[in-house]
Amino acid sequence: MKKITWEAWIDPYNSNKDQFGNNKVFNTFNPQNIDKLDLEDGEEPVFGLSPQPTIATPYGLLSITEDTIASSRFDFWLLHTNFDITHEFVALLEQISGIETIEVFTRYRMRLGFPKTPFFNITDTKIKVEKLIEKLNEESIITHFENIAQTYGRDISNKIQNIYNNIVKNKFWNIYIYPNGQTDIIICDTYDSFIKKIDLIKDVKVMVGGININSEEI
C-alpha cells in the first residue's frame, strides 16, 4: 500500500536564532551603564546588536526580511512516502489545484508549497493528495486481481478479492494462492511476527510457485 504522512516545514530563517546563548543582548556599546542593566545574579552581559540573518546570492549577501523569506509567501509541508517519488507521481500532483510549488528532496521526501491566498484551502488540497494516493492503491489492487484472474480464472479472483476485503483493515496481512487455487492467509499485529511467517510462505512459493500478495507489497 502506498502511504504518506505530513510534516510541517520549519523555515530556518523565519526567526532570529540566539547566537549568544541564554544571555541577554543589549543594544548598546557603553559598558559604563552596566549598573542600569536588568541582570540576574551572576549573569554576564553581552553588548552588541542582534545579528541580521543573511543569505548568499549571485549578487552578494542579502538581508533576510519578511519580504524575502519564502515562508511568508507559501505554506510549506513536507510529504513523506513509503514509495519512490517518481516523475509520474510528481506529474499527478501538478494536476491538483492548490499546489503551487513541488520540490523533491529525496527518494521518499518532498516539499509542497501551498499559496497563502484566500483562493485555496490547504486542508482541502491535502485531502486531494490523500485521495490521489487512495486512487493509486485501488488501481494497483485492480491490477493484482486481473493478474490472478488471468492465471486462475475469474472465480478464484473473486474469491481472493472477498478475502482481501475482509482482512485489508488489519495492520499486516498476507494471501498466498497455491497453484491449485487454494489459499493460505496470514494476519499479524506486529511486523516481526509477520516477517517470520511470510518468510516461510516465500520459501514455499519458490518451491511450488503460486501468487502472493500482502500489505507490504500490494
Alpha helices for 97-179 (secondary structure H): 122-152, 154-167
Q: Would you place residue 216 in the very low, low, confident or very high pLDDT band (cuts 50, 70, 90)?
A: confident
Same domain, 170 and 180: yes
Same domain, 141 and 73: yes
CA 185 to mean position of chain CA atoms: 30
36 within domain boundaries: no
Domain boundary among 124, 152, 180: 152
> What residues contact 10, with CB distance under 8 A and at least 6 apart?
none
9 within domain boundaries: yes
Give the structural domain span for 169.
154-214
The confidence score (pLDDT) of residue 96 equals 96
pLDDT for 87-146, tens place per residue? 999 999 999 999 999 999 999 999 999 988 889 999 999 999 999 999 998 898 888 899
The confidence score (pLDDT) of residue 17 equals 41
Query: What is the chain's percent helix, strand, coil content, to nearest 5?
Result: 35, 25, 40
Same domain, 198 and 112: no
Count structural domains, the chain. 2
Domain boundary among 98, 122, 152: 152
Domain boundary among 131, 152, 173: 152
pLDDT for 35-77, tens place per residue? 555 555 655 544 444 555 665 656 565 555 555 555 567 788 9
